[in-house]
Amino acid sequence: MDKVLKNINVDSFINEITPQLIQWRRSFHSYPEVGWTEYVTTYRIMRVLEKLNFTLHIGEDAYSSVDRIGVPDEAILCQAEQSALKAGVLEEWIEKMAGGHTGLVATWDSGKRGKHIALRFDIDALPIEESMDIEHFPWKNDFRSVNQGTMHACGHDGHIATGLGVAHFIAEHSDVLTGKYTLFFQPAEEGGRGAFAMSKRGWLDDVTEFLSGHIGINPLNIGTVAATTTKFLASTKIDITYKGRSAHAGIDPEKGRNALLACAAATMHLQGITRNSGGATRINIGKINAGSGRNIVADLGRLEVETRGETDVLNDYMFEEAKRIINASGKLYDVQVHMDVVGHATDITCDEEWIDYTKEVCKDSKTITNVLSESALGGSEDVTYLMKEVQKNGGKVTYFIFGTPLANGHHHPAFDFDEKVLPIAVELYARMIVSLNMGAK
Amino acid sequence: MDKVLKNINVDSFINEITPQLIQWRRSFHSYPEVGWTEYVTTYRIMRVLEKLNFTLHIGEDAYSSVDRIGVPDEAILCQAEQSALKAGVLEEWIEKMAGGHTGLVATWDSGKRGKHIALRFDIDALPIEESMDIEHFPWKNDFRSVNQGTMHACGHDGHIATGLGVAHFIAEHSDVLTGKYTLFFQPAEEGGRGAFAMSKRGWLDDVTEFLSGHIGINPLNIGTVAATTTKFLASTKIDITYKGRSAHAGIDPEKGRNALLACAAATMHLQGITRNSGGATRINIGKINAGSGRNIVADLGRLEVETRGETDVLNDYMFEEAKRIINASGKLYDVQVHMDVVGHATDITCDEEWIDYTKEVCKDSKTITNVLSESALGGSEDVTYLMKEVQKNGGKVTYFIFGTPLANGHHHPAFDFDEKVLPIAVELYARMIVSLNMGAK
Amino acid sequence: MDKVLKNINVDSFINEITPQLIQWRRSFHSYPEVGWTEYVTTYRIMRVLEKLNFTLHIGEDAYSSVDRIGVPDEAILCQAEQSALKAGVLEEWIEKMAGGHTGLVATWDSGKRGKHIALRFDIDALPIEESMDIEHFPWKNDFRSVNQGTMHACGHDGHIATGLGVAHFIAEHSDVLTGKYTLFFQPAEEGGRGAFAMSKRGWLDDVTEFLSGHIGINPLNIGTVAATTTKFLASTKIDITYKGRSAHAGIDPEKGRNALLACAAATMHLQGITRNSGGATRINIGKINAGSGRNIVADLGRLEVETRGETDVLNDYMFEEAKRIINASGKLYDVQVHMDVVGHATDITCDEEWIDYTKEVCKDSKTITNVLSESALGGSEDVTYLMKEVQKNGGKVTYFIFGTPLANGHHHPAFDFDEKVLPIAVELYARMIVSLNMGAK
Amino acid sequence: MDKVLKNINVDSFINEITPQLIQWRRSFHSYPEVGWTEYVTTYRIMRVLEKLNFTLHIGEDAYSSVDRIGVPDEAILCQAEQSALKAGVLEEWIEKMAGGHTGLVATWDSGKRGKHIALRFDIDALPIEESMDIEHFPWKNDFRSVNQGTMHACGHDGHIATGLGVAHFIAEHSDVLTGKYTLFFQPAEEGGRGAFAMSKRGWLDDVTEFLSGHIGINPLNIGTVAATTTKFLASTKIDITYKGRSAHAGIDPEKGRNALLACAAATMHLQGITRNSGGATRINIGKINAGSGRNIVADLGRLEVETRGETDVLNDYMFEEAKRIINASGKLYDVQVHMDVVGHATDITCDEEWIDYTKEVCKDSKTITNVLSESALGGSEDVTYLMKEVQKNGGKVTYFIFGTPLANGHHHPAFDFDEKVLPIAVELYARMIVSLNMGAK
């Protein structure tokens, strides 16, 4: 180990790349795109990676197209493609990604025996209008979202920057590294829509180690990381449409079948699903759009809903309750019910051996000063589908938490993290790669 | 009477203009525009009227701009103006109407002593997606709406055609008619938003007779009209915004303040306002838009609501109940409440003398075969503000119902009426004009 | 007429009986009994009538026992029978009325040709705790209810007194009166439970005139009566039971099936049934009893509900909506639903000829100073079943309103009327009898 | 230890007393009484203990009367006292317990130096109608509840039997035992109403060890016990009264202020309180009684509610949310709100040293074959107030779980446990006493 490692000075690599990490992060932050519309984001990632020695698999090459979940309407995709064109994406690339085939997989094989390490970075943003509060860091520093109503409010901009940093680390050390590398730049993590399709493409068949992670989540200091993560909430994402009959609200309201009332009823009753003594559950009715005008009995209503549970069993409990309530709410108001499952995430248990391994790997780091055995996610992640696939094939998986103070919680319009977490995340992945694939351990 | 009337052959005028009425109706039907965005509609009306001998008062000249209610956002107006430009409206006219100053008033003074007759025709459409059912008459006959999500589903296309027919009648008989004439082509009747501003401009100060009306409403045959209308529902239109705080629905939902739940709660409780033994009341929650994404606790929710009552007292009861419920629903979920009144209509009683008068005027008509004393509207009409203003000044007012079978009720996506009602409406107005202003009575 | 009428001085009869009317009213007021438990009330009525020359038909003799609706549980009947025993009702009479066979029919046949006049007086009270407000007249004057939780809050105490006054009038003039007389002292009017059974016993086969009425209802002065009544609301009374499964609310709440939540859901959605443009409707959820203890998931819930409509068609609309909502609310919470119809009332139209007739009959009254053509009930009355039966057989029916100021509205804990209305009600019935059966008209 | 322990043969004591334990259990099972009405239960316990050498402190002597929470109405207490008289409780004893002063504390001081061991057994039942299912063990074996609507559905009948068994153990070994003993036979555990008052009476000032426990809870086999218990849910018990105004539901419903609708609204919104990522929470609306009759707008409604949380902080979150919702629900329907806290429980952490200690103490038991380190309660227990008081004074506390299969969960109408758990519970307490107070350890 010693000899080889002399050739790899992680610290100096990190020092050098840090300004670039911050620049990437801000650039991606300023152009957020929601799931399956990450045309510009994917293009920019591709532009960086094509200069390195990776093989790139874009869109349909990267995953099973039919297994994508929750792909937006043609109209929304079309609009996003137009915007991407205006933003400078070359037409041939837009054609390649057409129909919401965003995201990519980057692979590199050293040709030498070693571990096959897979890493996953998610790249999508959220439908949130970013804060213009004077104290909001991206606003003060001129990299607030230029896309109205869309925001990187979950830190995926930081994840992309981390992924590009890791790619650079691999590229710069390609002469000394052994084994194989697969980097997933995954679209549509929000809503649990992208990972499943990526897990169905064979990328993971011989992966021996799978690493991923998230910045923030819990109130941890810079320099603290968690070696494993618990409490991945299994989740099901449901779109509901109620279809009734419109009528004049003054002249003959009794002739209507009110789809808006069905939406409100379903909302109230879903929110009231009884807690389960088996563990944590969640329900969120995130969106209602119902009715066409004030003086018309609403003939159409749409809901976006998600259930979660600490285990698949608990999420199933929530989903079964939800299904019954959704159907009965249609009956209450005599309207038709249409229900689509448009996303899901499963539960997962990280392999325990990562706890001691991570502590060992980081023990002489100057910046990673505290390695927790575990930290709780409390949210859902469809990376769990990739992780389950790896475990099925005998590989070992973990998911790190990278500590950083947060200006506001995830999904808040003024969400923000400390950019010092970026070099720390790259360092942890780099140390893992060195340790796993250079006989360091 | 006899001598003069010989010069006026109403029947032959009606026969001649009927094909034109139908053509107008279909043309306006195919290009529906919602309240305060009737740029193309107003322009086309203006183009017809400018060839006749009326003085035209467009937009700000026609009403008190500050008294307009429920004018849409700048963005929506801007979009409508762009569309109008594409649809061929000259730029100078768009500038004249800029900022939602649609609609017009057409006046003509014979210079001879006589009655001052005012007539009102409403011109706006509804935010309803028009049916593509194979049996839907406008679809079968190629004049379905070209504006997605917008439809003439209340018959105002027919009202415009009627108004233009009446204008032609006046113009063609300008040599023999006495008195003065004011024709209101009113924007934004839906939602009770346009008439109030028009009532504040002095047009009605010396009006002696005010006539308006509606096609359809009740299941009456072609040839049946009602001389007066009862059961004008007073109404208040309310926009509600709930503002809470977003949070990640999985990681820390308890940090959110859920504006979507406040919307659902307000909806359920508003819908349940206790019936009033004093007479008919209505409540409609016509539209909900809440939440930004499935996995985000919603920080914003908007409702469009209306109350109605058979009298102002009954509507006040509904409105007071609604206000309390709207505020308390905010408290339920600890979110801020903002409430705007964006429209209203008052009650009215037509003057009784019109009953016998109308029967007399129509007694020798070949097409108006049945004059009912009264018919119930059961809806709201902001023409009531114009009517109250006339009554205040000592004038007499009525509101006709023009019988026609309806394919489906008002505000239904497949609403349609029998176009034979159009010449009948013009004939009734024409007979009234002749009778009032030519010594016929 | 003159000669006979000389023998009948209505005014002096009324003057003499007035103090007795007030005494009866207060006595019945102080001992209120709810529907089908009017043991003491029936007994006291019987005691008065048995001294006159009527034939009395108690309980099962008075109506079709199986057609009774909403008879209380055996336990409640048993308790009421025990109370009656303590209140001095002889055991043989309790046996005669056992099982909730309260109420009676009193008949008398003059043996002379004439009209068969039927009159109906309802006798039951309400489950309301009577006010102890210092200003409440029955409390100030020591005749407040002695039965906790029960109150004559609808004026039936006054109706009984009126009925006994009318019986006295007939008895005292039996020598001069012609025709036949049937007086219904009807149990269980509240909830629409008693009249139907009485209508099925043949009493009405040859009735030529049917009279009934109500004191109060609308704000009319003493001396004002209405000759006919409109707006009888058809009504259906529904008992609902939801049956779920109990569970420990802390340890494993998810194992429960919550019947209490089904009750709350049904309540909210029933209350929100859309208004009908066809006319007045009502919905009331009058009572909920659900759950057995705070820390137990409720396995049982009961609701008492009623729908009403200005016509049978409107009530049917409400009832059909209610049925669907009641069933769907069970599905929402996965609990069993049981629904019983326990009462109903139909609509009715009084015969028009009573308007002129009543005005004529009262024209020389010193106390009945104002006879309205009609007044609106706005409530439900199962007397409508008796009235429909009479109309079916060719008889003529009406229902009077006897004007009186009210301290508070019907069914209010401090409801009270002006006792001056009692002699007026007796006088109107007496004048009708004289007029109908003595050739007076 | 050896010498002394020879004199104490726990196994043979247990063998001998087992039939008596079962008999006690069945006897108490057949006469269940809810909190603060355990007159017969307390009396029977007293009758057993007075034959042993304990000093008995009944009712007011046992606790701080004013600190009792959720004492029922005078009327309910009166009725319970009458029933107790009929069940053979001597009048002097009823007087002693009058006003709901049930429960007792039994103390004994060996006079020799040693530990002061306190034990607590709860004695109250639940307002549940016991099953008559043919398979229900108490029904098959003739000891089903004789008190309609009341049931020992949480195993407190077994706890009483256990307590009496422990008392016998102490009494029979009074010659060899050292230290002091305080046995709490606590009333009103359900609803968290009795322990607080007992904690305020000085009994715990010098207690060195506090032991309590529960049979059942989790699916553990006979022979398995848990040395400590986790997940005591802090809890607040709330009674809510809404006061509105009654009105006739047909004639003038708009005059009412509907307290029943406020109950239903509060229910729906309380049930929907957002889950908290900090840990387990609960909400239960256990009981609604609202309205007086079907055709009356309800003027009164009552709710029994409880919140819970895995920690005091989480329960506070629930309680604060609940308060806001309860108040806002009153505003929704314009009714007055009255809220009483009628019970509470706090969280607690058992002292860790009990884990090893219990394993050691039980290691040679033939029946206690499996000692778990911990088991989760998942419910609330007001014994936590006694435990906190002991910890405050430096004593050590634990709470055992005694494993037994359950026919159905706690608070289910067919709840039942395996009576073999009774001798095991007595044995564990006996072994603890021997070990703590005889130098055994």
DSSP string, C259-296: HHHHHHHHHHHHHTPPP-TTS-EEEEEEEEEE-S-TTB
**CB–CB contact A296 B411 (8 Å):** yes
CB of C272 within 8 Å of a chain A CB? The answer is yes
Residue labelled with tokens 């502590």: A359
Write the DSSP assignment of B371-425 as a string of letters: EEEEEE--S--THHHHHHHHHHTT-EEEEEEE---BSS-TT-TT--B-TTHHHHH
In Å, how far is A114's CA from the nearest CA of chain B? 37
Cα separation, C112 vs C437, in Å, equals 10
Asked whether the beta carbons of A33 and A40 are under 8 A apart, the reply is yes
Averaged pLDDT, D213-240: 94
- The residue of chain A with its CA nearest to that of B280 is A250
Residues of chain B positioned with their CB less than 8 A from the CB of A154: 248
Residue in A277, A324, A332 closest to C269 by CB:
A332
CB of C12 within 8 Å of a chain B CB? The answer is no
- The residue of chain A with its CA nearest to that of D267 is A272
Mean pLDDT (chain D, rounded)? 93
pLDDT class for D3, splitting at 50, 70, 90? very low
pLDDT of residue D440: 43
pLDDT of residue A255: 95
Residues of chain A positioned with their CB less than 8 A from the CB of B282: 249-250, 253
Q: pLDDT at residue B135 above 60?
A: yes
- The residue of chain C with its CA nearest to that of D70 is C294
pLDDT class for B5, splitting at 50, 70, 90? low
**CB–CB contact B277 D253 (8 Å):** yes
Averaged pLDDT, D203-225: 94
Asked whether the beta carbons of B242 and B335 are under 8 A apart, the reply is yes
Cα separation, A227 vs A401, in Å, equals 7
| Beta strand pairing call for D300-309 and D370-376 | unpaired
Q: Which amino acid is at B35?
A: G
pLDDT of residue B191: 87
CB of A295 within 8 Å of a chain C CB? The answer is no
pLDDT class for B218, splitting at 50, 70, 90? confident
Candidates D260, D274, D327, partner chain B, best to mutate (most B CBs within 10 A): D274
pLDDT of residue B153: 96
CB of B267 within 8 Å of a chain D CB? The answer is no
pLDDT of residue C342: 87
pLDDT of residue C78: 86
Asked whether the beta carbons of A123 and A185 are under 8 A apart, the reply is yes
Q: How many CB pairs under 8 A join A and B?
A: 227
pLDDT of residue D439: 56
Q: pLDDT at residue D441 above 90?
A: no
CB of D377 within 8 Å of a chain C CB? The answer is yes
- The residue of chain C with its CA nearest to that of A251 is C277
β-strand partners of A181: A108, A117
CB of A170 within 8 Å of a chain B CB? The answer is no
In Å, how far is C324's CA from the nearest CA of chain D? 19
Reported ipTM exceeds the 0.85 cut: no
Would you state the structure tokens that stand for residue A298, as one six-digit string? 């609403």
CB of D305 within 8 Å of a chain A CB? The answer is no
Percent of chain B with pLDDT over 90: 87
pLDDT of residue B74: 83
CB of D275 within 8 Å of a chain B CB? The answer is yes
**If residue A244 lies in a helix (H) or strand (E), which one and from where to where?**
none
pLDDT tens digits, chain A, 441 residues: what are they? 344 455 688 999 999 999 999 999 999 999 999 999 999 999 999 999 999 989 999 988 999 999 998 899 888 898 899 899 999 999 999 999 999 999 999 999 999 999 999 999 999 999 999 998 889 999 999 999 999 899 999 999 999 999 999 999 999 999 999 999 999 999 999 988 999 999 999 999 999 999 999 999 988 999 999 999 998 999 999 999 999 999 999 989 999 999 999 999 999 999 999 999 999 999 999 999 999 889 899 999 999 999 999 999 999 999 999 999 999 999 999 999 999 998 888 999 999 999 999 999 999 999 999 999 999 998 889 999 999 999 999 999 999 999 999 999 999 999 999 999 999 999 999 999 999 987 544
Averaged pLDDT, B276-293: 95
Sequence-ordered list of residues with C-beta below 8 angstroms from that of B209, at least 6 positions apart, any chain: B115, B116, B117, B118, B395, B396, B397, B432, B436
Percent of chain A with pLDDT over 70: 98
Neighbours of chain D (3+ CB pairs under 8 A): A, B, C
pLDDT of residue D6: 54
Candidates B73, B284, B341, partner chain A, best to mutate (most A CBs within 10 A): B284
Residues of chain C positioned with their CB less than 8 A from the CB of A274: 253-254, 256, 258, 297
Neighbours of chain B (3+ CB pairs under 8 A): A, C, D
Asked whether the beta carbons of A410 and A154 are under 8 A apart, the reply is yes
Per-window interface: C 125-144 vs D, CB < 8 A: 126-129
**Phi and psi torsions of D240, nearest 5°:** -125, 135
Residue in C191, C297, C377 closest to D284 by CB:
C297
CB of D307 within 8 Å of a chain C CB? The answer is no
CB of D234 within 8 Å of a chain C CB? The answer is no
Sequence-ordered list of residues with C-beta below 8 angstroms from that of A12, at least 6 positions apart, any chain: none
In Å, how far is A383's CA from the nearest CA of chain C? 29
pLDDT class for B1, splitting at 50, 70, 90? very low
pLDDT of residue D5: 53
**CB–CB contact D254 B269 (8 Å):** no
B368-371's contacts with Cβ under 8 Å and 24+ in sequence apart are B368/B223, B368/B225, B368/B424, B368/B427, B368/B428, B368/B431, B369/B223, B369/B224, B370/B221, B370/B223, B370/B224, B370/B225, B370/B403, B371/B224, B371/B225, B371/B226, B371/B227
- pTM given for the model: 0.83
Cα separation, D325 vs D332, in Å, equals 10
Least confident of A5-14, A210-219, D123-132, D339-348: A5-14
pLDDT of residue C439: 56
pLDDT tens digits, chain C, 441 residues: what are they? 444 455 688 999 999 999 999 999 999 999 999 999 999 999 999 999 999 989 999 988 999 999 998 899 888 898 899 899 999 999 999 999 999 999 999 999 999 999 999 999 999 999 999 998 889 999 999 999 999 899 999 999 999 999 999 999 999 999 999 999 999 999 999 988 999 999 999 999 999 999 999 999 988 999 999 999 999 999 999 999 999 999 999 989 999 999 999 999 999 999 999 999 999 999 999 999 999 889 899 999 999 999 999 999 999 999 999 999 999 999 999 999 999 998 888 999 999 999 999 999 999 999 999 999 999 998 889 999 999 999 999 999 999 999 999 999 999 999 999 999 999 999 999 999 999 987 544
Averaged pLDDT, B169-195: 94
Q: Within 13 Å, how many C-alpha atoms sit on residue B392's CB side? A: 11
pLDDT of residue D7: 60
**CB–CB contact D248 C129 (8 Å):** no
In order of A2, A281, A347, C26, the CA distances from C23 in angstroms are 114, 67, 79, 5
pLDDT of residue D219: 85
Q: pLDDT at residue D60 above 60?
A: yes
Q: pLDDT at residue D1 above 80?
A: no
pLDDT of residue C1: 40
